[in-house]
Amino acid sequence: MEFEIPHAEAPATIELEREQHLRLQWADGRITTFALETLRRRCPCAQCRGLRDQGKVAYPGPHSPQPLSAVDAELVGNWGLLIRWNDGHETGIFSWSVLSSWADDPDGI
């Protein structure tokens, strides 16, 4: 079985405000800002997706630190962004295609 990830160009600029948001400026000039809590709740990793598929909450957990913050982030090739959270979670890679689709449909996130 072949798994293919939809392609989307990397943003022209990436700004992570570790206590508040992720702001992306796309090549076409659009600017999208994602609240950190929105991204953490929608983490695309297998564990978080599995919890959501079971009707459970992936974030926040009973011992989640408040406020949420991003400890660090790193580019994953030209494919996406991995965010390390202050709750210890760091397995979700936010692909540019997913972030771009969320930017196009803010009600869908």
pLDDT at residue number 94: 96
pLDDT at residue number 62: 83
pLDDT at residue number 107: 54
pLDDT at residue number 108: 52
The segments of the chain whose pLDDT lies below 50 read none
pLDDT at residue number 10: 92
pLDDT at residue number 95: 95
Q: What is the CATH number of domain 13-108?
A: 3.30.2020.30
97-104 long-range contacts, CB within 8 A, separation 24+? 97/5, 97/6, 97/7, 97/8, 98/44, 99/8, 99/11, 99/24, 99/32, 99/34, 100/8, 100/26, 102/32, 102/34, 102/42, 103/24, 103/26, 103/30, 103/32
